[in-house]
Amino acid sequence: MTGHLVAPDRLSHARNAAAEAGIDALLVTPGPDLRWLTGYHALPLERLTCLVLPAEGEPFMVAPGLEVPAVHSSPVPSLGVEVLGWGETEDPYALIAARLAGPRRVGLANRMWAEQVLRMRTALPGAEQTLASAVLGPLRIRKSPAEIDALRRAGQAIDRVHARMHEFLRPGRRERDAGRDIAAAILAEGHVTVDFVIVGSGPNGASPHHEVGDRTLQTGDVVVVDIGGTTAEGYSSDCTRMYTLGAPPQEFLDYFLVLHEAQLAACAHARPGVTAESVDAAARRVISDAGYGEHFIHRTGHGIGIETHEDPYIVEGNTTVLEAGMAFSIEPGIYLAGRHGARIEDIVVATDEGGGGIERLNTTDRDYVVLEA
Ligand code: ZN
Ligand code: ZN
C-alpha cells in the first residue's frame, strides 16, 4: 500500500532481538507483524506467504507465484528481502526448511493459522515453536516519533468525523443509516479502511460493542458513537464521544459527570513510570466511589498502533510499567442495561515531556454534545 510507514531498521532490530532471545528464526505470515516489519498488506490465504527472518543470515519471503507481483509492488524488495515464489505443486514449507539449517527454536507470528503452525512443525521437526511476540512485542509497544506522528494524524482524522456528527444523527434515522454515512466520512476524512462503527442509541448504548442496528433514533436519546479506521500510513484511530438528541434524561446527566471525572482522573494519573493496572484503578475508583462500579464492565483501555487493540492493555493485573512512546486508549464506560450507556475514549501517548505525562491524540471536547432534535 502506498504511503505506508516503513522503517528499514525494524528488520535488523527484530533479528537482533531474536538472536538475544535464543530464537533461530522468526516465521511471519500475513497479519499485523508482517505489516509492521515490512509494510506488506498481504491477505491471509491458504497458500503460504511467509517472511523468514533468521537470527543469522539474510531474510527471505516465500510467496505463491501468483502473489509475487503483489510482493514486488510492496516495500518488501526495497528492504533487501529476497522473494522466493513457489509453484502450485511445490511445498513452500519444504522450501523454508531447506533454507534454514535445522533451527532449534522458531518464533511464529501470533496470528499464524493453526494449519500453518502444524505444517511448520512437520517441516521443522527439531524446532521448538514459540510466539514471535516475545521478540516483536517489546519492539512494537514503544512507538517511534514517526509512529507517534502517524497516530497523531489518525487521531486528527477521526476527530474530524466526530466534528461532523450533526450531519449524521437525528431523530427518525436508523442507526444503520447513520452508520453508513459515518463510514463514508471516516474514509473521506483521511482513512483507507473503516475498522468499526458503533452507533449505540438508547438501550443499545448499554452494550459496549453493539455496532449498528435497525433502531430508529428518537428525541431524547443518548447515543454512544465509537469509531475508528486505518490511515494510509497503516495506523489506527479509535475515539468515543457522547451525543444526545435534544435534552438528555437526568439519570444520564448524573452518571455522565462521574464518567467524565473518571476519564480525567485516569488521564491525570497516566505517565511513564506507573503501571498499566494503576491507570485502570484510577478510573475505576472514581466510578466505584460514586456507586456505579458494577456498571463499568470492561477494562479501561488498550494499546493501539498498527492494530486497534494491542499491548499495553490497561487492565487490572497488567503490571507493565508505562514508558514514553506507549500509545493506548483511556475509555471508561458506565452502562445501565436496558436504558442507555456512556463511554468517553481518547487515544493518548505517554511522554517524558513536561515532567512526564500523556499527550492526547484526540482533542475534541469530551463533554456530551447536544444535537438538534
Ligand atoms: Zn478503544
Ligand atoms: Zn473505541
Question: Residue 347 CA: which ligand is closest?
Answer: 1
Domain annotation covers residue 124:
yes
What is the grid cell recorded at 75?
A: 516495500
Report how far apart the first and last C-alpha atoms of the chain are (Å, whole number): 42
Identify the band that residue 8 occupies on the pLDDT scale cut at 50, 70 and 90: confident
- Ligand 1 centroid, distance to 168 Cα (angstroms): 21
Q: pLDDT tens digits, residue range 289-340?
A: 999 999 999 999 999 999 999 999 999 999 999 999 999 999 999 999 999 9
Domain that holds residue 55: 9-140
Does one domain contain both 119 and 204? Answer: no
Domain annotation covers residue 1:
no
Does one domain contain both 249 and 338? Answer: yes
- Ligand 2 centroid, distance to 211 Cα (angstroms): 11
Q: pLDDT tens digits, residue range 74-85?
A: 999 999 999 999
Does one domain contain both 76 and 198? Answer: no
Closest to 361 measured CA to CA, from 323, 339, 328, 319: 328
- Ligand 1 centroid, distance to 92 Cα (angstroms): 38
The CATH number of the domain where 28 resides is what? 3.40.350.10
pLDDT given for residue 349 in this prediction: 98
Domain annotation covers residue 2:
no
Domain boundary among 103, 123, 140: 140
- Ligand 1 centroid, distance to 240 Cα (angstroms): 8
Q: pLDDT tens digits, residue range 47-99?
A: 999 999 999 999 999 999 999 999 999 999 999 999 999 999 999 999 999 99
Does one domain contain both 127 and 232? Answer: no
* Confidence (pTM): 0.94
Quote the percentage of the chain above a pLDDT of 70.
99
**Residues whose CB is under 5 A from ligand 2 (ion)?**
226, 238, 240, 345
314: helix, coil or strand? strand
Domain annotation covers residue 48:
yes
Q: pLDDT tens digits, residue range 160-196?
A: 999 999 999 999 999 999 999 999 999 999 999 999 9
- Ligand 2 centroid, distance to 57 Cα (angstroms): 41
Confidence check: pLDDT of 147 > 90: yes
Identify the band that residue 101 occupies on the pLDDT scale cut at 50, 70 and 90: confident
Domain boundary among 140, 161, 196: 140
Can you tell me the mean pLDDT for 343-355? 96
Can you tell me the mean pLDDT for 343-363? 97
Domain annotation covers residue 106:
yes
Sign of CA dihedral 142, 148, 151, 155: positive
Does one domain contain both 227 and 367? Answer: yes
- Ligand 1 centroid, distance to 280 Cα (angstroms): 14
Confidence check: pLDDT of 125 > 60: yes
Task: Give the count of domains, the chain.
Answer: 2
Domain annotation covers residue 319:
yes
CA distances from residue 146 to 75, 258, 305 in whole angstroms, order as listed = 17, 36, 12
Does one domain contain both 120 and 185? Answer: no
Question: Residue 229 CA: which ligand is closest?
Answer: 2
Confidence check: pLDDT of 243 > 80: yes
Does one domain contain both 316 and 186? Answer: yes
- Ligand 1 centroid, distance to 239 Cα (angstroms): 7
pLDDT given for residue 1 in this prediction: 41
CA dihedral 240, 244, 248, 254 (to 10 degrees): 10
The CATH number of the domain where 332 resides is what? 3.90.230.10
Q: Is 263 left (phi over 0), alpha (psi -120 to 50) or beta?
A: alpha
Closest to 106 measured CA to CA, from 84, 76, 126, 81: 126
- Ligand 2 centroid, distance to 296 Cα (angstroms): 15
Domain annotation covers residue 177:
yes
Domain boundary among 140, 160, 189: 140
Place of cell 512437520: 122
Question: Residue 227 CA: which ligand is closest?
Answer: 2
Helix (H) or strand (E) holding 137: helix 133-141
- Ligand 2 centroid, distance to 74 Cα (angstroms): 30
Does one domain contain both 100 and 191? Answer: no
- Ligand 2 centroid, distance to 226 Cα (angstroms): 5
Does one domain contain both 133 and 163? Answer: no
What is the grid cell recorded at 68?
A: 509475487
Q: What's the full length of the chain, in residues?
A: 373
Which residues sit opposite 142 in a β-bridge? Answer: none
Question: 273 near 350, Cβ under 8 Å?
Answer: no
Does one domain contain both 134 and 199? Answer: no
Q: Which residues make Cβ contacts (< 8 Å) with residue 20, sequence separation at least 6? A: none
- Ligand 1 centroid, distance to 12 Cα (angstroms): 31
CA distances from residue 341 to 153, 216, 223, 224, 335 in whole angstroms, order as listed = 29, 17, 8, 7, 4
pLDDT given for residue 3 in this prediction: 64
Does one domain contain both 265 and 202? Answer: yes
341: helix, coil or strand? strand
Does one domain contain both 238 and 163? Answer: yes
The DSSP line for 259-307 is: HHHHHHHHHHH--TTSBHHHHHHHHHHHHHHTT-GGG--S-SEEE-SSS
- Ligand 1 centroid, distance to 308 Cα (angstroms): 7
Domain annotation covers residue 205:
yes
C-alpha 96 chain-centroid distance = 30
CA distances from residue 28 to 24, 63, 136, 198 in whole angstroms, order as listed = 13, 12, 11, 32
